[in-house]
Structure formats: structure tokens, C-alpha cells
């Protein structure tokens, strides 16, 4: 047995033990290790990074938890659009199963299903996510600092777009934590972290990451709906960006502002769009099948999705995001603005938007920020369930109109993923539904979730 195998087995054993005893630590290690996209597969046919190893190990523990509880994994409102998207992806691929189809489907499921369910179900409370957020901010500061000292992200064997995407996510998380904390010491620490990450992000020269950051900021403040927070953010970030830009070498400034189609990187993206368009025109409804993304330089998520799964696949993918943002929007209206739950929802929306914006000009299906975005979705789903748990009978208009019939009550509750216990008349204790419904309440957000 090789030394590498012994180290890998020991790490897996320790991680599983930690995950069983302290799930929030395992989630933090998974979330915070996502920016390190270095391939650890060696000679194995499947490539993976440390974060994906941690995710799979966490998933094993989560499956054990589900079996013990006799429950199923929860995807919240996203279950139907996700199933629809995978059904279309499978249908489009069956007609021409490529060598890359299986690994592409597994990759998609890893992020859109495994990451979501693990982060939604393994955390014991919403407060557990605080570890993940601060872990990512710390890693973002480390990557930015090392890159600034070494004058390149290649010091850590990270390409500029991968590092830029991760730093973009770290900046959005640090910003929301900074806006939502009232503790003076934390504010100064987060402000310093934002400064280092923002400058590091500029120095990556990843315009895709810059676009993703802008997109994430727009969505972050759209969810929060706070104009004063936007002004505070601009007041902080604008000088940092200006300082970083002024100190860039002239050739770097020229590279970042140049959009000449004769440049290699710009020309490559135009060729990518043309390639995807040619495949889309051959099969516009269902596409040519998942796996195409690994056969050319797929640097536009919209065109790549149209080529792989056609109009139906892109429509299902858009539906996933519509349902997601509706869930975030409705849940945000039901949580205290100063709570961690509100930050989780705002961060989830911002990370997904950031990855989409970045994916318009770079690879979407790649490690790093994609893991962060969909892990954030899982966090938002847990908050959604906690919000639904706090629903009272009187707070749901359809329940007030349901009358006293059991069947009407059940139909009115179908949109809500909750199990309600109602007191039955005339006994004051809780019990099964017998006779008229006189009211009821479920557990709300725990004090530590707030």
C-alpha cells in the first residue's frame, strides 16, 4: 500500500468521525476548501478536488442520518424543476451517448443535488453556517494575500479565472457579514478582509470574475432592499478598487480594458459561441446531449446549455432559478433583517448570480465557485424550511378559508413542507386531528438561528 493511499484513508476516517460528531465543522471544511481547485485524482479516471472529496464523505454521513431518521433528502421547492432538468438532460443524451456524458451527468448531480441536499440537511441549525462563511472569508484572504505577494495566482497552482471566481464569492460573503453585524471588532476584521480580497480580485485580471461580482452585488441588494447598505458598500469598495487599479502595471490595465477580437482570449470565446450555435441549430429542441461541454471550450453557459439540451433544457434551468429566487424572496420577508438567516438567503442569491454572470464569459461547470453557489442554495433551503416551520394557521389565508374539514385543511397545507400538530377540542393538549380545528403552531426559528 502506497503512502498516498494510507494518507487518503486516514484523512477519510478522521473526516467521517468529525462529520458524525460535529457536522458544522465538516460543512465548513467542504465550503472553505472549494477555492482550492487543484486536481487530486492522480492516475484515476475521474478528476476531483479536496472540496469534492469532503462533499462525498459528508454525503455518506448524511445518508446514514437519513436512514436513521427514516427520511428522504429534501430539495424544497427546487425538487420539481431539478427533476425536470435532469429528465431532459437524460433524454437528450440517450440519442447519442458520448464518452463524456456519464461524467458530465455525475458532475451536474454532484453540485445541483448532492451539494444542495448535504448543506440543507446536515446542518443542525442555521447558525452552523456561520463557520462556513467565516472559513471562506479566511481562505479568500489567504489566496488574495499569497497571490499579491507572489504577483500571480499560479503560486497556488490556480488559474486566474478560477481564483477570481472564488475571490468574488469570498468578497460577497464578507460584505454581507460586514453589513449584518453590529459587533465593532467583527466589523473591522471583516472590513480588512474585504480590502485584501477586493484588491486580490482586481489583481487576478479575471474580467469574468469582475462581471460575476457586479451581478452578485446587484442581486444581493435586490434581496436586501436596503439603499443605505448599497451606499455604504460603494463608499468602501470604490476607493479599494481605484487604489488597486492605479497600482496595476500598464500592460495589465491594457489587458483588462482590451476587447479586440483579434486577441486570443476574445477570439476563443467567439469561436466557442459559434461552435455551440452550430450544434444547437442541428437539434434546437433537445440539443445533442450532455457531455458536449467537455469537447470544446465551453465559455458561455447559455449557449452551452442550448447546444447540450436545447430550448427545453435551458427552459428547465431557467425555471430552477426562478423557483430559487422566489423561495429566497418569500423567505427573506419572513425572517428578522438582523438575523443570520437573512444573511444566508442574501448570500445564496448573490453567489448563484455571481456564478451565472461569470459563466456568461467563462466555464460554468467547473470547480470552486460552482460548489460555493449551490452549497449556498442548500443553506437557503434550510432557512426556507425553518420559515415554513414558523407558519401559524392564522397566517395562511387559505387556511383561514379552509373551514373545519380535515380534507380542506390538508389541501391548504400542501404548498408548505410542514407537519402540523393541532390541539383538538375540547382538550388543551396536542394530539391528532379529531373534530373541529381550533388553531395550531409549529416551531419557529430557533433563537440561535436568529
How much of the chain, in percent, has pLDDT values that exceed 70? 85
Same domain? For 160 and 254 the reply is: yes
Same domain? For 450 and 328 the reply is: no
Same domain? For 420 and 271 the reply is: no
Q: Are 369 and 377 in contact (CB under 8 A)?
A: no
At 261 the pLDDT is 77
Among 342, 362, 389, give the residue marking a domain's end: 389
Same domain? For 316 and 422 the reply is: no
Give the helix/strand (H/E) hosting 59.
Answer: helix 50-69
pLDDT over 70 at 81, yes or no: yes
Residue 428 lies in a domain: yes
Same domain? For 439 and 373 the reply is: no
Comparison of pLDDT for 256 and 7, the residue scoring more: 7
pLDDT over 80 at 245, yes or no: yes
Q: C-alpha cell of 227?
A: 439603499
Same domain? For 327 and 411 the reply is: no
Among 389, 415, 442, give the residue marking a domain's end: 389
Residue 223 lies in a domain: yes
pTM: predicted TM-score of the whole model, two decimal places: 0.85
At 282 the pLDDT is 93
Same domain? For 144 and 235 the reply is: yes
Give the helix/strand (H/E) hosting 274.
Answer: helix 264-282
Q: C-alpha cell of 266?
A: 476574445
Residue 174 lies in a domain: yes
**Residue closest to 77 by CA, chosen among 392, 412, 387, 400:** 387
**Tens digits of residue pLDDT in 354-387:** 999 999 999 999 888 999 999 999 999 999 888 7
Same domain? For 346 and 219 the reply is: yes
Comparison of pLDDT for 262 and 399, the residue scoring more: 262
Residue 153's pLDDT band (cuts 50, 70, 90): low
Residue 8's pLDDT band (cuts 50, 70, 90): confident
pLDDT over 90 at 432, yes or no: no
* Side-chain-side CA neighbours of residue 164 (13 Å): 25
**Distance of alpha carbon 165 from alpha carbon 193, whole angstroms:** 16
Give me the sign of the Cα torsion angle 349, 350, 355, 361.
positive
pLDDT over 60 at 52, yes or no: yes
State the average pLDDT over residues 171-184: 93
State the average pLDDT over residues 173-195: 93
At 412 the pLDDT is 53
Same domain? For 297 and 429 the reply is: no
How many structural domains is the chain composed of?
2
At 16 the pLDDT is 94
Residue 25 lies in a domain: no
Q: How many other CB atoms are found less than 10 A from the CB of residue 376?
A: 31
Among 340, 359, 389, give the residue marking a domain's end: 389
Residue 14 lies in a domain: no
Residue 433's pLDDT band (cuts 50, 70, 90): very low
Q: CA angle at residue 223 from 219 to 228, to 5 degrees? A: 95
Same domain? For 284 and 424 the reply is: no
Residue 6 lies in a domain: no
Same domain? For 337 and 445 the reply is: no
What's the burial of 360, exposed, middle or buried (CB within 10 Å: 0-12/13-18/19+)? middle
**Tens digits of residue pLDDT in 307-341:** 999 999 999 999 999 999 999 998 888 888 888 99
Rounded mean pLDDT of the chain? 84
At 243 the pLDDT is 85
Same domain? For 126 and 263 the reply is: yes
Q: Are 232 and 179 in contact (CB under 8 A)?
A: yes
Residue 390's pLDDT band (cuts 50, 70, 90): low
Residue 244 lies in a domain: yes
Residue 394 lies in a domain: no
What is the extent of the structural domain holding 133?
A: 75-389
State the average pLDDT over residues 217-244: 86
DSSP state of 416: S
Amino acid at each position: 500500500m502506497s503512502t498516498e493511499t494510507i494518507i487518503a484513508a486516514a484523512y477519510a476516517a478522521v473526516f467521517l468521525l468529525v462529520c458524525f460528531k460535529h457536522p458544522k465543522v465538516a460543512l465548513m471544511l467542504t465550503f472553505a476548501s472549494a477555492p482550492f481547485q487543484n486536481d487530486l485524482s492522480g492516475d484515476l479516471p475521474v478528476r476531483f478536488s479536496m472540496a469534492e472529496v469532503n462533499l462525498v464523505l459528508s454525503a455518506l454521513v448524511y445518508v446514514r442520518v437519513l436512514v436513521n431518521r427514516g427520511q428522504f433528502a429534501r430539495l424544497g421547492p427546487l425538487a420539481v424543476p431539478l427533476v425536470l432538468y435532469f429528465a431532459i438532460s437524460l433524454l437528450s443524451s440517450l440519442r447519442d451517448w458520448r464518452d463524456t456524458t456519464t461524467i458530465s451527468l455525475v458532475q451536474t448531480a454532484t453540485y445541483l443535488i448532492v451539494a444542495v441536499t448535504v448543506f440543507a440537511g446536515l446542518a443542525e441549525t442555521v447558525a452552523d453556517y456561520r463557520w462556513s462563511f467565516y472559513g471562506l472569508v479566511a481562505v479568500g484572504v489567504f489566496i488574495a494575500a499569497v497571490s499579491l505577494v507572489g504577483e500571480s495566482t499560479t503560486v497556488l497552482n490556480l488559474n486566474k479565472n478560477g481564483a477570481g471566481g472564488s475571490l468574488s464569492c469570498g468578497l460577497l460573503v464578507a460584505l454581507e457579514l460586514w453589513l449584518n453585524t453590529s459587533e465593532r471588532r467583527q466589523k473591522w476584521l471583516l472590513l480588512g478582509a474585504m480590502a485584501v480580497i477586493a484588491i486580490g480580485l482586481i489583481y487576478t485580471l479575471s474580467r469574468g470574475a469582475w462581471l460575476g461580482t457586479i451581478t452578485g452585488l446587484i442581486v444581493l441588494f435586490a434581496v436586501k432592499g436596503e439603499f443605505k447598505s448599497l451606499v455604504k458598500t460603494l463608499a468602501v469598495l470604490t476607493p479599494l478598487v481605484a487604489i488597486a487599479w492605479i497600482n496595476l502595471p500598464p500592460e495589465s490595465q491594457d489587458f483588462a480594458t482590451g476587447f479586440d477580437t483579434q486577441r486570443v482570449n476574445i477570439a476563443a470565446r467567439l469561436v466557442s459561441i459559434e461552435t455551440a450555435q452550430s450544434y444547437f441549430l442541428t437539434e434546437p429542441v433537445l440539443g445533442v446531449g450532455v457531455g458536449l461541454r467537455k469537447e470544446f471550450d465551453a465559455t458561455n453557459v447559455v449557449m452551452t446549455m442550448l447546444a447540450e439540451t436545447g430550448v427545453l433544457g435551458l427552459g428547465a434551468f431557467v425555471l430552477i432559478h426562478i423557483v430559487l429566487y422566489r423561495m429566497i424572496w418569500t423567505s427573506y420577508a419572513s425572517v428578522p433583517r438582523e438575523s443570520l438567516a437573512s444573511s444566508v438567503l442574501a448570500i445564496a442569491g448573490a453567489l448563484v448570480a455571481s456564478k451565472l454572470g461569470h459563466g456568461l464569459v467563462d466555464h460554468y461547470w467547473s470547480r470552486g465557485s460552482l460548489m460555493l453557489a449551490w452549497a449556498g442554495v442548500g443553506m437557503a433551503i434550510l432557512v426556507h424550511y425553518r420559515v415554513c416551520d414558523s407558519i401559524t394557521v392564522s397566517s395562511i389565508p387559505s387556511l383561514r378559508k379552509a373551514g373545519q374539514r380535515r380534507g380542506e385543511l390538508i389541501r391548504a397545507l400542501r404548498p408548505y413542507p410542514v407537519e402540523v400538530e393541532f390541539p383538538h377540542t375540547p382538550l388543551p393538549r396536542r394530539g391528532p386531528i379529531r373534530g373541529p380545528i381550533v388553531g395550531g403552531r409549529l416551531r419557529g426559528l430557533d433563537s440561535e438561528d436568529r
